[in-house]
Chains A and B, each alone.
Chain A
């Protein structure tokens, strides 16, 4: 490895509405940078092969596995993580329904589930149960049977519809 291989890349990225400018190593993923450089440890590390969804974040409104995105690729984008779902101490609708249905057990998969659900409802505000099952299929949960998570997403959709 030569001394200059992997020289830092400067990126400008908006994270949860806040503009950040930082230097990242090219081989570090968006997941690495969120957790280690920005201290946003809400996004979790698990399989690192894009199977479990624990690292799901939104990049320009689109849900992705942040373990498969190089930090450098996030330059010029807007990233939303679980820490960005609440406004101050006011929880987002999904966060509320997740609490109400008991969707979070150990909680480790929950940030990813919330982000995937957030993206799902943004593109499909009135999903069927099958839509929710499919939309969350990239987010593994080992504690629960997914039922309470699915109920929470459907409840949030209903609540949003009722409010609009």
Chain B
């Protein structure tokens, strides 16, 4: 195994310079979408019903309109007929509910007023006459033969599943599962709950008429995608839709796709004034979540622990509108054989509609649910086979370069080393301290399957740099990475680099910020743009020095001709001459679609993580305390080690959230009971593992700049099965449902038949 170090400049790649944008964050100057002030903006308030599903009979806005300062009360009747619909996969989501509300919190009307007070008061006064309808909010209810349909069959013409709540069924596999002979078969059904992203910043949206077009501000992770949606809905050319995307205050996938931007855009154009809608935290919980799942895993092994087959049936409960949820199911379950050599596999995965909050992308993108099932199943198998859980993983692990998923990218990392490092850090070889249990799990996720990022970089006359990159920096530190790359390549001090993001009028196209892609895709685009500039510098230097271009090397901010080293700035100033100016470089990083591939493209890279934990379980109360949490990720190259650590540890703690305490609580009719921060619990600074350690494996084997790979989802993927394995080790009890709340653990330990 080779150690890989990137030798960079201070402030360059491999160093951990202070976050670009950090100063604004610690002084309160960072402008999030809710901080944007537009003159004369209307405040918008949503009107929703307190039930999961209802037929809208009548809406009486007269009392609301009588409130001083109220300008507009918009409902379906005020929007085009047929109702405009949008959505990244299916155009199913209406701008406002028409005829029927399909989930608890779906707006039936929106009030726009001069002040928040007036909007809130008027929203309370909108009288909606409605009839509550039977709603489905569980997998069983949604699949029942007489289940009410969440979506009209007419929305899915020609779809054989249109008369069911199954939106899509995905089938993957290879080899012959039925004919496979295994010495040991381990089977279980595992459940993953509904959880929500709970970014500390609730969603926010503004729209304003902008000449003959429109300007939209949103906490959106995909500004260009939003631009396309708005342009389509308003029948405007892209060039007349300007999307401003302030850095989101946390996204985690919940801000990838349009939610209420279309509504706010219609209001702004109708009123001829800017319109602003900032969701409450409760409304945010109603707006976005992760898909819940029930996953049956049946795995066959030879006595020595080698896998013979994997048979997975995964039902994901998505919400009332598809958003990107079906894609999370398709992509997440595609890798449900895990990073293992699997001779025969059969995967059947369904996205099932329900009258609940539309599930969307959420860190891990469908993988945490199946990893919970498959890795728990592996731990049970290790127990049955009497094979050490680490040894079981290593025995079956795909080796670097091995095509462990036929037709897809081969294993692209030394994953064994990642596992060995985690095992080493937790001290796997020796037994844990008395009273503790220990568990381990691995997590694999495909990176992006297609992608397109452009960047322009401008080397200004004094050697300072402007980088244009359409990535959304929602805390992962993309801005800093791009600045480091430009600083390194163009020889500028880091604080001489400005990164411009979040304005579709100024920044070139970026497909999206998701799948941990940005360091690789946009990073390479930025790198490409810098190389473009370096090419021009080479030409400049050759001209100035009277040498052939081939004799000039531009590397890391230096121009080298033979033994001579000239700073870039030197060459630049001389080369630009009296007219001055700048050098503009364009970079493009593209990963084309592969139409024959089940996912439309192979993985650009894989994220791989190994998590090992030690727990103490209070058998009388069911409390689980994570005494030690070790997380190791295979990152290729840590472009900014401090940021990598921050992301991995954050992902680990977020994983502990859904492992130990997070879940929506619905009543029998599908209403969310625990809206808001008092009864939806996430980890605080007092809920940390007693000792948390993170490490990275850097082999420079990624496709990104300097051998990097994408990261920041990996450390969340397998937290739950690692903890459950540790709980089993400590208590002997296998629990297959999350979260492992004290009550659930207690019940498994004490109530007969519940284990």
Contacts and interface: CB of A to CB of B under 8 A. Distances in A.
Direct contact of A and B (CB under 8 A): yes
Interface of A: 1, 25, 27, 36, 39-49, 51-52, 54, 81-83, 85-86, 91, 95, 98-102, 104-111, 114, 132-134, 136-150
Interface string B197-217: 111111000000000000000
Interface in B668-723: 676-678, 682, 684-686, 688, 692
A136 B117 CA distance: 32
Given A82-B27, A107-B475, A133-B688, A99 B201 contact: no
A41 B28 contact: yes
A146 B281 contact: no
Contacts of A82: 26-28
B30 interface: yes
A79 to B, nearest CB: 13
24 contacts: A46-B281, A47-B281, A47-B676, A51-B678, A82-B26, A82-B27, A101-B642, A102-B646, A105-B19, A106-B200, A106-B249, A107-B475, A108-B32, A108-B200, A108-B250, A133-B685, A140-B200, A140-B682, A141-B650, A142-B199, A143-B647, A146-B685, A148-B642, A148-B649
B734 to A, nearest CB: 28
Given A49-B676, A49-B678, A106-B474, A144 B649 contact: yes
Nearest first, the 9 A-B pairs at minimum CB distance are A42-B28, A108-B249, A106-B475, A107-B25, A145-B649, A105-B475, A51-B677, A82-B28, A47-B677
Nearest to A139: B685
Contact of B26 (A52, A91, A139, A143): A91
B280 A48 contact: yes
B28 A83 contact: yes
B501 to A, nearest CB: 14
Given A41-B35, A148-B646, A106 B27 contact: no
A44 B201 contact: yes
Contacts of A134: 685-686
Contacts of A43: 28
Nearest to B16: A102
B646 A133 contact: no
Contacts of B270: none
B249 A44 contact: yes
Nearest to A40: B28
Given A42-B28, A105-B475, A142-B198, 13 more contacts: A27-B117, A44-B249, A49-B678, A91-B26, A102-B19, A105-B646, A106-B201, A107-B22, A108-B200, A136-B685, A143-B200, A146-B688, A148-B645
B247 interface: yes
Nearest to A85: B27
A43 to B, nearest CB: 7
B608 interface: no
A145 B650 contact: yes
Nearest to A102: B642
B464 to A, nearest CB: 20
Contact of B477 (A47, A48, A83, A105): A105
A39 to B, nearest CB: 8
Interface size class of B (residues with CB under 8 A): 35 or more
Nearest to A27: B117
A109 B653 CA distance: 16
A81 B684 contact: no
A148 B646 CA distance: 7
A99 B692 contact: no
A129 to B, nearest CB: 10
A137 B685 contact: yes
Nearest to A107: B25
B23 A107 contact: no
B200 A144 contact: no
B376 interface: no
B131 interface: no
B21 interface: yes
Nearest to A36: B116
A99 B23 CA distance: 7
Q: Is the interface of A mostly helix, strand, loop or mixed?
A: loop
A163 B684 CA distance: 31
B652 interface: yes
A105 B22 CA distance: 8
B248 interface: yes
B653 A145 contact: yes
Contacts of B475: 105-107, 143
B148 to A, nearest CB: 34
B49 to A, nearest CB: 21
A135 to B, nearest CB: 8
Nearest to A98: B26
B27 A83 contact: yes
Given A107-B25, A108-B201, A142-B198, A149 B685 contact: yes
Contacts of A83: 27-28
A100 B250 contact: no
A44 B280 CA distance: 12
B199 A106 contact: yes
B390 interface: no
Scoring A27, A85, A99, A138 by chain B CB atoms within 10 A of each residue's CB, the highest score goes to: A99
Interface string B109-124: 0000000110001000
Contact of A111 (B28, B37, B685): B28
A91 B27 contact: yes
B31 interface: yes
Interface in B139-160: none
A95 B646 contact: no
B661 to A, nearest CB: 13
Given A40-B28, A46-B201, A49-B676, A99 B688 contact: no
Given A106-B200, A107-B21, A48 B650 contact: no
A139 B19 CA distance: 21
Contacts of B650: 105, 141-145
Nearest to A135: B685
Contact of B688 (A25, A46, A51, A145): A145
Contacts of A136: 685
Interface centre among B28, B29, B278, B676 (most CB of A within 10 A): B28
Most B-side CB within 10 Å, residue of A41, A46, A107: A107
B351 to A, nearest CB: 26
Nearest to A6: B117
A145 B648 CA distance: 8
Contacts of B686: 133-134, 137
B65 interface: no
Given A47-B677, A91-B26, A137 B19 contact: no
Given A105-B477, A105-B650, A106-B250, A114 B677 contact: no
Contact of A142 (B31, B32, B35, B200): B200
Nearest to B32: A108
Contacts of A150: 685
Max count, chain A CB within 10 A of own CB: residue among B21, B25, B29 = B25
Contacts of A86: 27
A19 B385 CA distance: 73
B649 A147 contact: yes
